[in-house]
């Protein structure tokens, strides 16, 4: 253990960008007008930077013609499509604040997000998979059926006036995408330029709802400065240039897609490739081969699915060199396979959260393999981090676990219309409290060891689920594993492991326990084991441990124990 405090700051010779998203976009268009900018394979659409700007400016002028003013909130509720990116850049140019609506939302969540952000306009896909978005919206707004486009006066969604449906099928009370673009004739390019010149890089440009495990979601409000710079430095640290082609299978509603993906490419002139509306491992592998992608993003579960694809060995992935594995803890064994079998020798890991735009830590291209598979890397440029004792708030020495706090340009403006939550998350010195438990080594590399709320306290011993998970991944039959704490009358909490075995394999709890004995401390060996085919997931591929815990309490009949109050 070192006496050095767990504090680092990201010194950098590369300055922050003092630009709005619109300015950065136009600069890239001027530099690389004829290079390919965006490919949406499932839609059969291809744009150069010049043709993408035409589409973006047409959308921006169309939104202005509808009366969308600076500061108005424009929701987008759609899986990955070219129109998502076009709307993102168009809204930024006119000073509207884009509200990312999770494609997995259902009625209650949709109603909450649109009302909490007081959305004036909503761009939506007619449907996604088996879900009709239109039917859901019409059930919230029966008034749509009897109003003209742009004249919605809804009892349940009082701020919403414009509904814009992607595609050309007419819907009562709504604009089609084409009709909005046709409205652009009423607004001149000079009018758009004047509006764009009004924007400041510290203005809010994006609201992203965080999926809290309790209570209503909170809308992290992010500025041009927040997300443009974060996207820039994520790509910069991967060595992106205009010759790179990035495959983006992660959802655009999440920072991983719209910041690290879209804005990272915009700031470097790299090409954005959408393989499908939502994640499909086969479509990702096809896109990487056909488009000669040089980079691929994903959460660990996506890379696991790609590696396990039945035809994996038939795809030529030799064009890949880098990419990003982030969004949840990255198993070491999976990382090694991505490097060896997917040719992603320069793949990196990043860590962050929506409220910090999102990335605070990232591994580097020249990091040794041990660092790239065993840590989340080093501090991002222009960002500060310290690790503190959750009880006292004092900075802990290197090597000691504590809560990770972040400060700098990347910290959100606050939660939309929620001052109390903003003050709780961001302290008086502008430190964002992440709720993540981490350790920092003497070289400044960080390990995320768990969530403050996920940490299991078994009989006074702190057990970090990540540590147990990493060990269980070493079992040759284990494909994926998640560890949680469940209530226990004697120890306060006991450890439970949910295990997904490799295809065709079988194992018992006794087999797993035998693998653990003598290898990890007895108090860390799970008492309960559950073999599953899948885990409860968010649409971004994050495992929902709070749902696992609820299910476990019911299945193990621990309801009475769970009700025991503790200090």
Cα–Cα nearest to 417, from 222, 218, 211:
218
Nearest C-alpha neighbor of 502 from the set 478, 534, 530, 469: 478
Does residue 256 have a pLDDT over 80?
A: yes
List the beta bridge partners of residue 9: 384
- Check: CB of residue 303 under 8 Å from CB of residue 110: no
Within 10 angstroms of residue 440's Cβ, the number of other Cβ atoms is 30
pLDDT for residue 171 is more than 70: yes
Give the pLDDT mean for 157-185. Answer: 97
In angstroms, the Cα distances linking 58 to 91, 198, 352, 533 are 11, 18, 34, 46
Q: What is the mean predicted confidence (pLDDT) over 247-261?
A: 96
283-292, 304-313, 363-372, 385-394: the lowest-pLDDT one? 363-372
Question: Which helix H or strand E contains 47, and what residues bound it?
Answer: strand 45-48
* Closest alpha carbon to 124 in 100, 154, 107, 155: 100
Q: Please state the rounded mean pLDDT for residues 501-507.
A: 96
> Could you tell me the pLDDT band of residue 563, with boundaries at 50, 70 and 90?
confident
Q: State how far the Cα of 209 lies from the Cα of 101, in Å rounded to an integer.
A: 8
From 318, 275, 314, 316, select the one nearest 298 (Cα to Cα): 275
Beta sheet of 245-247, edge-to-edge order: 45-48, 36-40, 271-274, 245-247, 295-298, 322-325, 348-352, 359-362, 378-379
| Tens digits of residue pLDDT in 130-143 | 899 999 999 999 99
Note the pLDDT tens digit of each residue in 224-244: 999 999 999 999 999 999 999
300: pLDDT strictly greater than 80: yes
Q: What is the pLDDT confidence band of residue 215, given thresholds at 50, 70 and 90?
A: low
Position 464 pLDDT exceeds 80? no
Is pLDDT of 211 > 70? no
Distance from first CA to last CA of the chain, Å, rounded? 30
pLDDT at 210: 85
| Rounded-to-integer distance, Cα 385 and Cα 10, Å | 9
User: Quick one: average pLDDT of 14-37?
Assistant: 98
Q: What are the tens digits of pLDDT across the range 389-402?
A: 998 999 999 999 99
Instruction: Note the pLDDT of residue 315.
Output: 98
Domains in the chain, CATH or no CATH each: 21-30+42-210 (3.40.50.12780), 457-562 (3.30.300.30)
Give the pair of three-digit tokens for residue 13: 């010779």
Q: What is the mean pLDDT of the chain?
A: 94
Confidence bin at 120 (pLDDT 50/70/90): very high
| Among the ranges given (329-338, 467-476, 505-514, 543-552), the one the predictor scored with the smallest mean pLDDT | 329-338
Q: Which of 348-357, 362-371, 446-455, 493-502 has the lowest mean pLDDT?
A: 446-455
| CA 130/CA 13 separation, integer angstroms | 49
Instruction: Give pLDDT, residue 546.
Output: 87
Rounded CA separation 323/346 (Å): 7
pLDDT at 567 over 70: no
Alpha-carbon distance values, 367 to 231, 260, 342 (Å): 21, 20, 19
- What is the SS3 assignment for 502? coil
DSSP result, 88-156: HHHHHHHT-EEEEPPTT--HHHHHHHHHHTTEEEEEE-SEETTEEHHHHHHHH-GGGGGS-TT----SS
pLDDT given at position 448: 85
Asked if omega into 358 is within 30° of 0 (cis), the reply is: yes
Phi-psi region of 67 (alpha: psi -120 to 50; beta: other; left: phi over 0): left
Q: What is the mean pLDDT of residues 452-474?
A: 82
pLDDT for 566 beyond 60: no
Q: Round to whole Å and give the CA distance between 405 and 137.
A: 39
Mean pLDDT within 336-354: 94
Answer yes or no: is pLDDT of 108 > 90: no
Instruction: Output the pLDDT for position 301.
Output: 84
d(CA 31, CA 237): 21
> Which comes out higher in pLDDT, residue 301 or 531?
531
The values of phi and psi at residue 75, to 5°, are -85, 150
């Amino acid at each position: 253990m070192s006496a050095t405090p767990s504090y680092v700051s990201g010194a950098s010779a590369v300055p922050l960008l003092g630009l709005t998203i619109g300015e950065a976009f136009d600069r890239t268009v001027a530099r690389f007008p004829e290079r390919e900018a965006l490919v949406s394979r499932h839609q059969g659409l291809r744009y150069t930077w010049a043709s993408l700007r035409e589409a973006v400016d047409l959308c921006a002028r169309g939104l202005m013609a509808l009366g969308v003013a600076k500061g108005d909130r424009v929701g987008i509720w759609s899986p990955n499509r070219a129109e998502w990116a076009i709307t993102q850049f168009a809204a930024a140019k006119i000073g509207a604040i884009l509200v990312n609506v999770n494609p997995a939302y259902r009625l209650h969540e949709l109603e909450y997000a649109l009302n909490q952000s007081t959305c004036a306009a909503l761009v939506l896909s007619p449907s996604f998979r088996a879900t009709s978005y239109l039917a859901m919206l019409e059930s919230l707004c029966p008034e749509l059926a009897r109003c003209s486009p742009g004249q919605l006066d809804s009892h349940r969604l009082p701020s919403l006036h414009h509904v814009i449906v992607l595609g050309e099928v007419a819907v009562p009370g709504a604009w089609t995408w084409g009709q909005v673009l046709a409205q652009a004739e009423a607004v001149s390019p000079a009018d758009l330029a004047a509006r764009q010149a009004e924007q400041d890089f510290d203005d809010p440009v994006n609201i992203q709802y965080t999926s809290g495990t309790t209570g209503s979601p909170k809308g992290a409000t992010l500025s041009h400065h927040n997300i443009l710079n974060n996207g820039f430095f994520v790509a910069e640290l991967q060595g992106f240039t205009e010759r790179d082609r990035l495959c983006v299978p992660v959802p655009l509603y999440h920072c991983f897609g719209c910041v690290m993906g879209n804005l990272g490419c915009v700031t470097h002139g790299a090409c954005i490739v959408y393989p499908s509306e939502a994640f499909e491992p086969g479509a990702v592998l096809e896109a990487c081969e056909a488009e000669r992608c040089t980079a691929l993003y994903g959460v660990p579960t996506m890379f696991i699915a790609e590696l396990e694809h039945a035809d994996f060995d038939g795809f030529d992935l030799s064009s890949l060199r880098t990419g990003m594995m982030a969004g949840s803890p990255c198993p070491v064994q999976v990382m090694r396979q991505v490097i060896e079998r997917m040719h992603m020798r320069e793949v990196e890991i990043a860590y962050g959260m929506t409220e910090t735009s999102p990335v605070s830590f990232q591994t580097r291209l020249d990091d040794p393999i041990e660092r790239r598979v065993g840590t989340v890397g080093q501090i991002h440029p222009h960002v500060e981090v310290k690790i503190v004792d959750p009880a006292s708030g004092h900075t802990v020495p290197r090597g000691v676990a504590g809560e990770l706090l972040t400060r700098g340009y990347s910290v959100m403006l606050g939660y939309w219309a929620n001052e109390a939550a903003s003050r709780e998350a961001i302290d008086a010195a502008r430190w964002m409290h992440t709720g993540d438990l981490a350790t920092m080594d003497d070289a400044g590399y960080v390990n995320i060891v768990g969530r403050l709320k996920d940490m299991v306290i078994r009989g006074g011993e702190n057990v970090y689920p990540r540590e147990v998970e990493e060990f269980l991944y070493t079992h040759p039959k284990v494909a994926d594993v998640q560890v949680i704490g469940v209530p226990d009358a004697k120890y306060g909490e006991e450890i439970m492991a949910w295990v997904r075995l490799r295809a065709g394999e079988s194992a018992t709890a006794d087999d797993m326990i035998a693998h653990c004995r003598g290898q990890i401390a007895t108090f860390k060996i799970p008492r309960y084991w559950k073999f599953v085919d899948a885990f409860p997931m968010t649409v971004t591929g994050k495992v929902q441990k709070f749902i696992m815990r609820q299910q476990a309490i019911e299945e193990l009949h621990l309801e009475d124990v769970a009700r025991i109050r503790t200090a």
